[in-house]
Chains A and B, each alone.
Chain A
Amino acid sequence: MKLKLTFFALVTLGLLSYALYMALVVAPTEATMGDVQRIFYYHVPSAWMAFLCFFINAIASIWYLAKRSQTADAIAVSAAEVGVVFCTIVLLTGPIWARPVWGIWWTWDARLTSTLVLWLIYIAYLILRRFSTSGRAPVLAATLAVFGFFDVPFVYLSIRIFRTQHPQPVIAGGEGSGLDPTMAKAFLWNMIAFTFYGLLVMWMRYRLELAERSIEEAHAEKALQEGA
């Protein structure tokens, strides 16, 4: 298992390095925004990874609600935590990109607001998991996760449904949308690299969750033995 993890980590490190090279060196400078447009190569893959993590969390939560599987619960909490990390990056890199391009750090348009709401939903989920003393916390958290996931398609579609300050989709955005082929290549490498990295971190977090639970069980067993 450790060998597999090391191999996966090395492949991910290679991919991230190559993706960074593609984003900073190979991809051409965008005509209107200049170098600041290169934030796109980190901002969009981070958003994609956040969506993927929240999707995994929703599926695992449904699995947990149906079967009360501890594996599903461990996957759900790991995916939510990693998703929050990526969503935080989206909420930080977005304003850094917006300031030089729009002249403002933040605006309450549908895309930005729904992304902030998404982040708050999963922060609430993690707080519930961490601080609730009720034995029903995993069930409540799983229910929150299933309903919370409905914000993900809303975030994705918000720029298509509403008129927003946030730009219209560059990829699959209909007529006039699309990327320069070299930019598309750099973008694709970053998507692959961040997907590998996100899955690697999720795997590490999942293994830690399992280890933590087995220690809690061992403590409980020991307390029972001492009490008997």
Chain B
Amino acid sequence: MIKYMWAAYIVTWLVHLGYLGFLTSKASKIRKEAEELRRN
């Protein structure tokens, strides 16, 4: 029974961390684009 509990907790944080990773990569892409715009 306890393995299901751990599975649910791990899945929850994997989804959240995946989304935070997506936001981080989006932020760095935006930062790069902003720098490029400033340079040109």
* Chain A positions near chain B (C-beta within 8 angstroms): 33-36, 38-39, 42-43, 46, 82, 85, 88-89, 92-93, 96-97, 99-100, 197, 201, 204-205, 208, 211-212, 215, 218-219, 222
- Smallest CB-CB separation from A88: which chain B residue? B15
A-B contact pairs, 26 of them (CB 8 A): A33-B1, A35-B2, A36-B2, A36-B4, A36-B5, A38-B5, A42-B8, A42-B9, A42-B12, A46-B12, A92-B12, A93-B8, A96-B7, A96-B11, A97-B4, A97-B8, A100-B1, A197-B16, A201-B23, A205-B23, A211-B30, A211-B34, A215-B30, A215-B33, A215-B34, A222-B40
**Chain B CB within 10 A, most for which of A33, A88, A96, A219:** A96
| B5 and A201 contact, CB distance less than 8 A | no
B38 → chain A closest CB, angstroms: 9
Q: How far is the CB of A180 from chain B (nearest CB, A)?
A: 17
A85-B16 CB under 8 A given contacts A208-B26, A222-B37: yes
> Which of A34, A89, A218 touches B11 (beta carbons < 8 Å)?
A89
Is A92's CB under 8 angstroms from B4's CB? no
Task: Please state if B8 and A96 are interface contacts (CB–CB under 8 Å).
Answer: yes
Chain B residues with a Cβ closer than 8 Å to the other chain, count: 21
| A99 adjacent to B34 (CB under 8 Å) | no
Instruction: Choose among B9, B27, B34 the residue with the greatest number of A CB atoms under 10 Å from its CB.
Output: B9
Determine the distance from Cα of A8 to Cα of B26 in the docked complex, in whole angstroms.
Answer: 21
With a CB–CB cut-off of 8 A, which chain B residues contact A97? Answer: 4, 8
Name the distance in Å between A23's Cβ and chain B's nearest Cβ: 8
Docked Cα-Cα span, A46 to B12, in Å, equals 9
Closest to A33 in B: B1
Residues A34 and B1 in contact, CB atoms below 8 Å apart: yes
Q: Which of A93, A96, A208 contacts B30 (CB 8 A)?
A: A208
Q: How far is the CB of B27 from chain A (nearest CB, A)?
A: 6
Q: Which of B4, B19, B30, B34 contacts A100 (CB 8 A)?
A: B4
Q: A99-B4, A100-B1 are in contact. Are A92 and B11 (CB under 8 A)?
A: yes
